[in-house]
């Protein structure tokens, strides 16, 4: 089998509620991480394991675009200000047409930067209930 290489440039994002923003063009990194909170239990007969919770985060790094007509930063800020406890739908699609659907809670982006550095913003969004639905487009 040939090696198949996927890069971050093969990822597409769709986030409902942020209007017609240039999310893909502004994003420099988008990483979904899902983690089992697994407890280790030592008994007299040996070791046992129990997953007690599942959590997920969506880490997003992007170029700051304050003041642009379709500003992603301003859309995220508005969501965090108006409804911080209302989850937003996200679909992350890879080049192989795998999709990962989940809901995140909005957070405020930072503003400003240092000297001649390009201004960026970073997020670590909490995924609602750690729930992520993975599927291959065309498969039910």
pTM: 0.84
Query: Does the structure show a pLDDT above 60 at 138?
Result: no
Quick check: helix, strand or coil at residue 129?
Answer: strand
Q: 135: which residues sit within 8 A by CB, 6+ positions away? A: 98, 99, 101
Q: Quick: pLDDT tens for 55-84.
A: 999 999 999 988 887 788 888 899 999 999
Burial 4-33 (b: 16+ CB within 10 A, else e): eeeeeeebebebeebeebebeebbeebebe
pLDDT digits (tens, 9 = 90+) for 85-129: 999 999 988 888 889 999 999 999 988 888 888 899 999 999 999
Q: What is the pLDDT of residue 21?
A: 59
């Amino acid at each position: 089998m040939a090696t198949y290489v996927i890069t971050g440039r093969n990822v597409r994002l769709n986030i409902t509620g942020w209007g017609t923003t240039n999310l893909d063009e502004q994003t420099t990194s988008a990483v979904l991480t899902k983690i089992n909170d697994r407890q280790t239990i030592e008994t007299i007969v040996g070791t046992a394991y129990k997953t007690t919770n599942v959590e997920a985060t969506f880490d997003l790094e992007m170029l700051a675009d304050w003041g642009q007509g379709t500003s992603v930063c301003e859309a995220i800020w508005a969501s965090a200000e108006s409804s911080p406890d209302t989850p937003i739908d996200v679909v992350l699609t890879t080049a192989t047409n795998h999709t990962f659907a989940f809901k995140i809670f909005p957070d405020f982006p930072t503003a400003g930067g240092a000297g001649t550095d390009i201004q960026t913003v970073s997020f670590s969004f909490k995924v609602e209930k750690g729930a992520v639905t993975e599927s291959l487009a065309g498969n039910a």
